[in-house]
Structure 1
Amino acid sequence: MEQEENKKRKNYQRRNTLTSPLSSLLLCFQKDDNLFVSSIPQHTRISNRSCSSSQPIDRYHMKLPENDRIYFSTESVHGLICFKESGESGNLIVWNPSRKQFLTLPKPRMRWSDREGVPFGSYYDECEVLTLGSTQESWRTVRTTYKYYAYKFTSGICIKGVIYYQRHDLVLVSFDVRSEKFGMRLLPSDIHYETLINYGGRLACLDKNNGRRLWILEDVEKDKWSHQDFLVPFGHHDLSLSIHFSLKGITQAGEFIYVPNAFHKSFYIWLFDPVRNSRRRLEFNRLADDEENGAQTRHMFKCLYAFPNHIESQMSL
């Protein structure tokens, strides 16, 4: 079974190498109203174990539309990323890293404060949809026969035209962007709501009680799940720094990306290949120098976002 799965993953990696556009691993963090971004090419395998400023890293920072804390709610989809500002009236914003542009979306008809004002456990039978690049200028309502509970901090993922996200309980919600139909299925276990992964073109999620177990949706129609346990050759904690590493995605080459939950001006990430049973530690030095004008700082950045398989987009916002 394990050999068959490894063969599937190798074939998937080979197809991606031949057909996929050049992609990069995008890392970013926020400080006040600045967004600091680092982009690393994924099409070239870095031979040594360290990433420094002399290697091919595109680094820049840009002003956010507002000086509010932001929450990224999507992966990179066709080169675009969506996030929400904090607060009850926080805006939804689409970001194009290639063109360094932001687009603030129109306000939905129903605000988060409206949803949060209802009793806990209340469900909804409608959602709102906005289509970029069309003549549609406002949100429209799409009804569903399924009732769902809206949780604003959950992260969604898009695989083959279907958006997946977790309801507040052990239920996975799907939305087909073509047919605009909803679906729901039970999750096989209690999972991390922020860790939905594209695993070789299939949806996968990380077990909340077993950080080395990955649940994979093998058959969408039959609701069939399988699981794999990965023996990661490093700890999820750096005891010397009191830092925890979380799985944030998988590159097209099949490497698992582990990112720290907090860092100073320098940090490192782990890339683990379960097929080759190999790992790489990539170090990033003094990425916040621009923000501090070269001064020494003890500021601890609390959140590092990772977007694997990001591609260039020339779509103007």
Structure 2
Amino acid sequence: MIRGQTSDSIPIDLITEILSRLPAKSIARCRCVSKLWTSILDRPYFTKLFLTRSSARPRLFFAIKRADGWCFLTSPQPHSPYDKSSLVLVADFHIKFPGYMWPGFFGLNSGLIYFYHMLISEKDKDTVVPVPVICNPSTGQHMSLPNGNMKKGFLGFDPIEKQFKVLSVRLYNENQSPQVLTLGTGNVSWRKIHCPLKHYISYCEDGVCINGVLYYLGHRVDVWYRVIVCFDVSSEKFNFIDEEFFRRWPRTKLINYMGKLGAIIYEYVAFGDTMMYLIKDVMKPEQRQHVYFFGKDTFVDDSSVSVTSTGDVVWLIYDTSKLFYVFYFNPIRNTHQRVEIQGFEVNHDAFANRRNVRVFVDHVEDLNFIK
């Protein structure tokens, strides 16, 4: 604040402009400055302005599973990492979120995280059944959902109606119908929906939401092989992609490749080595492209592989080093870069088990939350 001035003497437009440039973790502290600042930060105009500013500076987002919950960090996201011989980024601590047991983690979707199996309080672990939880990692706001029989769930977003829905699907051989829960309507309850093809998924299965459609790998019950399940968030209808190519690959990660459904496939080649391939369009699996070769001394976390809006494939590599690295690969230019991430030193749990760390690209901080 300018010496000799009070917040009342500073134009509200100027205060709004300054606050909209702050990170989300600073907004909560700013609410305590005065009633005027609180009223400014609660305005829909400010929330929209903040989101617009954040969208222009997407960040890398790191989620670390700790013994006492989750720790979220963010760092700048490099736009042209291949132009430098080496690159070092610093991840700033963002927020700590309580989450006990081993909560299922779907990932980021339009600024929200969906945990499908979580306890918020450690004192409840012996008396309370875990429930699904929606969390805004930018603000720490969260909301517990009805149990829904604790099946695996996915968070989908309809960009036309601006509406979030949670899809709950059977695990393994459970004989149960899929369920849907619509958020933000005031009626938080599960509804059974019809699915023309009986299928199940495993705990480790991830999904991806692209332009209002949820995609995930499902295991058919009748013939015992996998298909790509497509769930339209708006109409709540199912479709399926039954490509023979995907039936024989045990390690497959569906991705959003520049607005199209793509896939990352891992193949064991020899002596413990692994080859990673990129498919830019699942409807054209024969056009798979060699992405990267991993030796037996490294491990790639397939749950953390993602693609930026500009087409860079990004993933975490675990090796014998005590440093954290994010790998960037551009399949068009055929260039790659290893980016060192600093700032994890205080998170001892991350060093103890690096597979507890997940990275997401193009993270945009958003102050909105489901009411």
Common fold: TM-score over 0.5: yes
**1:280 equivalent among 337, 351, 369:** 337
In the alignment of these two chains, the number of paired residues is 276
Counterparts of 1:194 and 1:50, CA distance in 2 = 29
Cα 1:201–1:133 change in 2 (3 A) is: same
Deviations 1:3-49 (A, max 9, x none): xxxxxxxxxxxxxxxxx654222112111123222213336445642
2:132 — aligned with what?
92
1:42 — aligned with what?
77
SS state at 1:51 partner: strand
**2:232 equivalent among 138, 156, 176:** 176
**2:363 equivalent among 304, 310, 315:** 310
**2:276 equivalent among 212, 220, 223:** 212
1:62 — aligned with what?
96
Cα 1:38–1:238 change in 2 (3 A) is: farther
1:23 — aligned with what?
58
Deviations 1:43-71 (A, max 9, x none): 64456423243xxx43234031x322233
Residue identity in the other structure for 2:66: K
SS state at 2:193 partner: strand
Counterparts of 1:149 and 1:136, CA distance in 2 = 27
2:212 — aligned with what?
161
SS state at 1:178 partner: coil
2:142 — aligned with what?
102
Name structure 1 gaps, 5 residues minimum: 1-19
1:11 — aligned with what?
none
SS state at 1:289 partner: coil
CA apart distance, 1:181: 0.3
Task: Work out whether residues 89 and 112 of structure 1, in 8 Å CA contact, stay in contact via their aligned partners in 2.
Answer: no
Cα 1:276–1:264 change in 2 (3 A) is: closer
Does residue 185 in structure 1 map to residue 241 in structure 2?
yes
Cα 1:312–1:191 change in 2 (3 A) is: farther
Counterparts of 2:319 and 2:358, CA distance in 1 = 10
Counterparts of 1:304 and 1:264, CA distance in 2 = 15
For the pair shown, which has the larger CA radius of gyration, 1 or 2?
Answer: 2
Task: Work out whether residues 98 and 313 of structure 1, in 8 Å CA contact, stay in contact via their aligned partners in 2.
Answer: yes
CA apart distance, 1:226: 4.3
Residue identity in the other structure for 1:70: P
Cα 1:264–1:291 change in 2 (3 A) is: same
Cα 1:43–1:196 change in 2 (3 A) is: same
Structure that is richer in helix per residue: 2
Residue identity in the other structure for 1:50: L
Counterparts of 2:170 and 2:291, CA distance in 1 = 41
Cα 1:237–1:215 change in 2 (3 A) is: same
Is 38-47 or 174-183 further displaced after alignment?
38-47
Residue identity in the other structure for 2:88: C
Cα 1:192–1:307 change in 2 (3 A) is: farther
Task: Work out whether residues 191 and 205 of structure 1, in 8 Å CA contact, stay in contact via their aligned partners in 2.
Answer: no
Does residue 227 in structure 1 map to residue 291 in structure 2?
no
Cα 1:244–1:161 change in 2 (3 A) is: closer
CA apart distance, 1:271: 0.5
Counterparts of 1:311 and 1:61, CA distance in 2 = 15
Deviations 1:125-165 (A, max 9, x none): x3111112112221111112222224332111001100001
Counterparts of 2:321 and 2:285, CA distance in 1 = 39
Q: What is the TM-score when the length of structure 1 is the normalising length?
A: 0.74
Residue identity in the other structure for 2:336: R
Does residue 129 in structure 1 map to residue 162 in structure 2?
no
Counterparts of 2:285 and 2:60, CA distance in 1 = 28
* Identity level (%): 24
Counterparts of 2:72 and 2:320, CA distance in 1 = 15
Coordinate RMSD, CA, aligned: 3.3
Cα 1:238–1:193 change in 2 (3 A) is: closer
Counterparts of 1:112 and 1:104, CA distance in 2 = 15
